[in-house]
Chains A and B, each alone.
Chain A
Amino acid sequence: MTGVIEQATVGRRGGVRALWAGNPWAVVQRGLIAARSSSWVVVLSGFFEPVFYLASMGIGLGALIGTVQTSGGAEVSYAAFIAPALLAVSAMNGAIYDSTWNVFFKLNYGKLYEGMLATSLGPLDVALGEILYALLRGLVYAAGFMVIMQIWGLNLAWTAILALPAVLLIAFGFASLGMAVTSYMKTFQHMDWINFVLLPMFLFSATLYPITVYPEWVQGIVMAFPLWHGVELIRGFTTGVLSPDMGWHILYYVVMIAVGLVFTTKRMRALFLD
């Protein structure tokens, strides 16, 4: 048995602040074990929030509004218009849930990361592990939501299946950026700023009506925020109208993931490996 241990732990170079041990899965596994004892009410409420929006607005407002034109030019029912947006929102909510408040508590009130970084794990393992775990919840929410869309006939084209990897990307992006931002927050008041950004982003990102209702300069602001890119990407897939612009949306998220990872890792290093 000692032989196994020697084999597993020997031979990794790098300074005290070395970044990577190639073992983020241990951190993900820790999240999964901890989740077993977490409250299922909270988990379920996060899932049902967008479902309730879809049911109330899609059916209620949908009856008044009729059809809406997407940015891709397709005329779709109101429910089919907001459903992909709500799918992006549910991926975002799930990812944000674990990467902000939960991480904030671990950073400030527990010494979890200090313990992790006293092992052979590096800060990038911890950051990536926590982010991967956070995006899992987003993925589960979104997959559940897609089933509901399918049942209500809101997936209009076969390309809707591509919404799943897109959701993964979106959840990854939000988890990554969410954790980076959280790692710089020191008090509860700071954490409120996150909600302050999230709510308007949810309301204005072409979620509930087309972005064209705004003057151009407002559109520019909306487009600077991540959710709009997610909404457009997924709406393209579920309505079956693909465009080259989707490449930009994907790129936006790739950059967001990278930026989030870099800053989270930097911060972890500064906090726990000085």
Chain B
Amino acid sequence: MPEAVITAESLRKTYKVKGKADFVAVDDLSFEVAPGESFGLLGPNGAGKSTTMKMIGAVSTRTAGSLSILGLDPDQYGPEIRSRLGVVPQQDNLDGELNARENLFIYGRYFGLPAKVCHEKADELLAFAQLEDKAKSRVDALSGGMKRRLTIARGLINDPRILLLDEPTTGLDPQARHVLWDRLFRLKERGTTLVLTTHYMDEAEQLCDRLIVVDKGRIMAEGTPSSLIRQHSSREVLEVRFGSDRNQQVAGTLEGIGDRVEVLPDRILVYTSDGEAALERITALGLSPITSLVRRSSLEDVFLRLTGRSLIE
């Protein structure tokens, strides 16, 4: 295996809170990312994903543990690391006073690139983000999805070795998401390492070679999407709804059907190797669900299992 581009060992970050003990946002994370790999960070709200991204992005100093990015320690080479990264923060921080093209141009200047290079790159990236006809539009006049695409394009202005994407497709329509996935695949083909967080499990399955599930600043599981599904979930899932009032009550009587039963506010999930058979047993008990659905197990189920919570709270 080639040498990792990111290595984190027992990475920890605490925030000072007035009058209270320090708040632990990232507790103890150890992971490695190989060059050209596409690595995912999943976890519920507040798990510490963005905090981790900021430490990798060399804009936040770790409290403890060790961290190496492209072989450099951010505590000693912060600016040098930043100059080789592309960052797409969770919340867009485009320059509202400038138009789309100027945003790209000036960002290159911040990296100290010559003006000529910045002009060329700005045009190239406008095409990449399919925003050529919005080149002269003020950022405020762009739609949410267009802003997102511009932010991603901006992150590429310095030809980064690693691209950090914090929830890159939140707020994008399905069409735009697919376009973006395609763009990310292309970057990957060119050897760019991708690190991304997302709340969309289908996206994680599509994009990530490998991922970790984080909760309360700790790693709950690690692996490829398919191996995680194999390890942490059954082959099939039966979803039944009895109406929000009755779900909890009915759930008790379902014990023993399938490997495991999970009650969500709006439905009951029965984990089993054979969904149809499980449904037959439920109807045999004299229960008639309002709706029922048998599907293959997905990352979302792994997530629910590991964090005990729904992703989008």
Contacts and interface: CB of A to CB of B under 8 A. Distances in A.
Interface of A: 1-2, 4-5, 8-18, 21, 23, 26-27, 29-30, 33-34, 37-38, 110-112, 114-122, 272-274
Interface of B: 15, 57-61, 74-80, 82-84, 87, 89, 91-98, 102, 106-107, 109-114, 117, 120, 138, 158-159
B114 A8 contact: yes
Nearest to B95: A112
B130 to A, nearest CB: 22
B74 to A, nearest CB: 5
B117 A116 contact: no
The DSSP consensus for interface residues of chain B is loop
A114 B93 contact: yes
Contact of B113 (A4, A13, A17, A21): A4
Nearest to A29: B109
Given A9-B113, A15-B78, 11 more contacts: A9-B112, A10-B80, A13-B79, A14-B77, A23-B112, A26-B110, A30-B109, A37-B98, A120-B79, A273-B60, A274-B15
Contact of A110 (B87, B96, B117): B96
21 contacts: A5-B111, A5-B113, A12-B79, A13-B77, A14-B78, A15-B74, A15-B76, A16-B60, A16-B74, A21-B112, A33-B98, A37-B98, A37-B138, A110-B93, A112-B95, A114-B93, A118-B89, A119-B158, A120-B83, A273-B59, A274-B61
Contact of B117 (A5, A12, A29, A30): A5
Contacts of A116: 110
Contacts of B112: 8-9, 21, 23, 26, 120
Contacts of A16: 58-61, 74-75, 78
A122 B111 CA distance: 11
Given A10-B83, A115-B95, A272-B59, A26 B109 contact: yes
Contacts of A27: 110
B76 A13 contact: yes
Most chain B C-beta atoms within 10 Å of own C-beta, residue among A5, A8, A30, A272: A5
Contacts of B106: 26, 29-30, 33
Contact of B82 (A30, A33, A114, A119): A119
B78 A17 contact: yes
B79 A274 contact: no
Contact of B57 (A30, A34, A111, A118): A118
Contact of A18 (B78, B94, B120): B78
A274 B59 CA distance: 7
Contacts of A112: 93, 95-96
A30 B109 CA distance: 9
A12 B83 CA distance: 9
A121 B84 CA distance: 13
Nearest to B159: A5
B111 A8 contact: yes
Contacts of A10: 80, 83
Given A120-B83, A272-B59, A9 B111 contact: yes
